[in-house]
């Protein structure tokens, strides 16, 4: 952590923190050089938004099905398969985002003017990557909702879906929120998928069909070249890294706090 801070400090000696935080244009490699972090942050939250839009409903539906509907035997077969998606190296997902999603699916579907690098293909694979995070942690939270609550609701004549949606989901809400925060932290920190599939042109946009660059994507781009120590490029990755670290830390700590509260309630 010390390294991260000290290298960032040297960066901020060259570029004022005000410029870093207030400028909206990230253009470190060409003249006029400009270091405004917001384009990279916007790129990151572009993929966070679109991937969560897909992963949240599907992941939650899977969690509800596995916890409330599935036969225990079905759950024993399906859950490890979902969790296998979490063990796939992300460079593999990156390959699919570029070669399969963009070329074989998005272009035939949406027309050939879809840019080869676009945030939608990256978001789709990011959604696949975090699906097990959301499904598995939410399922654990729902499974630990006491049986009494369910049986009381059935006793009042509620159907299975009403019990699941109106009793179990609200009771497990803190665990569900925690799973979403962890998923966001993973998307924010993921590098290979966005670096390969989303492009390397920073834009302040939420459009899914635009080529963008995220914070991690920029760091990898500099890492691929051999930035010499002491140059501004080299220091800039530490400043971006620090921003990234702070953002993921906020989401991780929020998730820990929420899970802690939830434990007090039921144990």
Partner 1 sequence: MAATEAVGGDPGTLSASGAVARRQAVSRASRYVLLAATLIGVAVLAFLTYDTVDAGASRISWDFVTNYPSRFADRAGLRSSILGSVWVLVPTVGLAFPISIATAIWIEEFAPKNTLLTIVKLNLANLAGVPSIIYGILGLALFVRLMELGPSILAGALTLSLMILPMTVIASQEAIRQVPPSTREGSLALGASHWQTVWNHVLPGAMPGIMTGIILAVSRAIGETAALIMIGAFTFIAFDNTSPFDDFTTVPIQIYNWTIRPQEAFRQNAAGAIILLMAAVLTLNLIAAIIRERFRGE
- The binding site for partner 1 (CB under 8 A) comprises 3-4, 7, 57-58, 61-62, 64-66, 69-70, 78, 80-82, 84-85, 87-92, 94-96, 98-100, 128, 131-132, 135, 157, 159-162, 164, 182, 185, 188-192, 195-196, 216, 219-220, 223-224, 226, 229, 237-238, 241, 244-245, 248-249, 252-253, 256
> Measured from the CB of residue 243, what is the shortest distance to partner 1 in angstroms?
11
Give min distance, CB of 210 to partner 1, in A: 19
* CB of 22 or CB of 249, closer to partner 1: 249
> What distance in Å separates the CA atoms of residue 37 and residue 23, rounded to the nearest whole number?
7
E-assigned strands of the chain? 26-27, 34-35
Nearest to 42 by CA among 194, 181, 193: 194
- Residue 110 Cα to chain centre, angstroms: 24
Q: Which is nearer to partner 1, 32 or 81 (CB)?
A: 81
Residue 197 C-beta: closest distance to partner 1, Å? 9
Residue with tokens 């924010």: 188
Closest separation between CB of residue 31 and partner 1, Å?
25
Buried residues in 125-141 as b, exposed as e (16+ CB within 10 A): bbbbbbbbbbbbbbbeb
CB of 90 to partner 1, least distance (A): 7
Q: How far apart are CA 216 and CA 204, in angstroms?
A: 16
On the question of a cis peptide bond just before residue 265, with omega within 30 degrees of 0, the verdict is no
The residue among 64 and 171 lying less far from partner 1, judged by its C-beta, is 64
CA–CA gap between residue 213 and residue 117 (Å, rounded): 10
CB nearer to partner 1: pick between 25 and 248: 248
Task: Enter the DSSP assignment of 108.
Answer: H
Q: Which is nearer to partner 1, 207 or 230 (CB)?
A: 230
Nearer to partner 1, 36 or 199 (CB): 199
Q: Evaluate whether 198 touches 43 at the Cβ level (below 8 Å).
A: yes
Dihedral sign of CA atoms 230, 232, 233, 234 in order: positive
Shortest CB 254 distance to partner 1, Å: 11
In angstroms, what is the minimal distance from the CB of 42 to partner 1? Answer: 18
Of 97 and 171, nearer to partner 1 (C-beta) is 97
Could you give phi then psi for residue 26, rounded to 5 degrees? -105, 105
């Amino acid at each position: 952590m010390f390294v991260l801070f000290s290298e960032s400090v040297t960066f901020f000696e060259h570029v004022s923190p005000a410029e870093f935080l207030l400028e909206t244009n990230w253009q470190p490699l060409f003249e006029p050089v400009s270091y405004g972090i917001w384009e990279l942050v916007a790129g990151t939250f572009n993929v966070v938004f679109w991937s969560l839009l897909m992963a949240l409903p599907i992941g939650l539906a899977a969690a509800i099905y596995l916890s409330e509907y599935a036969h225990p035997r079905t759950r024993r077969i399906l859950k490890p398969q979902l969790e296998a998606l979490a063990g796939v190296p992300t460079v593999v997902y990156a390959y699919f985002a570029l070669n399969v999603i963009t070329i074989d699916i998005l272009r035939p579907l949406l027309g050939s003017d879809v840019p080869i690098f676009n945030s939608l293909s990256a978001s789709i694979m990011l959604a696949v990557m975090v699906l097990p995070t959301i499904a598995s942690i939410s399922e654990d939270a729902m499974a630990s909702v006491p049986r009494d609550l369910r049986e009381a609701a059935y006793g009042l004549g509620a159907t299975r879906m009403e019990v699941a949606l109106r009793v179990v989901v609200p009771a497990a809400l803190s665990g569900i929120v925690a799973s979403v925060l962890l998923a966001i932290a993973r998307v924010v920190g993921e590098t290979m998928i966005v670096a390969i599939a989303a492009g390397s042109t920073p834009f302040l946009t939420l459009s899914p069909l635009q080529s963008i660059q995220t914070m991690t994507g920029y760091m990898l781009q500099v890492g691929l070249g051999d930035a010499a120590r002491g140059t501004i490029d080299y220091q800039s990755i530490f400043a971006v890294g620090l921003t990234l670290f702070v953002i993921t830390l906020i989401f991780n700590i929020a998730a820990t706090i929420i899970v802690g509260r939830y434990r007090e309630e039921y144990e």
